Amino acid sequence: MDFEKIAKQLANPSGEFGINVALGMNSMNAFISKTTYDLLQIKDAESVLEIGLGNGKFIESILAYGNRISYTGIDISEIMITEAKKINRHLLDTNHIDLFKADVEKMSFWDETFDKICTINTIYFWKNPSIALKEMYRVLKPNGILIVSFRPFIEGQTLDFTKYGFKEYRAEDFEALMQQTNFKIIEKIDKIEPSIVFNGQIHNLSSLYFTLKKLVHKVR
Point out which residues pair with 99 in neighbouring strands.
73
Point out which residues pair with 74 in neighbouring strands.
51, 100
State residue 1's pLDDT score. Answer: 47
pLDDT one-digit tens code per residue, 37-64: 999 999 999 999 999 999 999 999 999 9
How far apart, in whole angstroms, are the C-alpha atoms of residue 168 and residue 173? 9
State residue 220's pLDDT score. Answer: 41
State residue 166's pLDDT score. Answer: 74
| Domains, the chain, ordered by start | 3-214 (3.40.50.150)
Reported pTM: 0.89
pLDDT for 132 beyond 60: yes
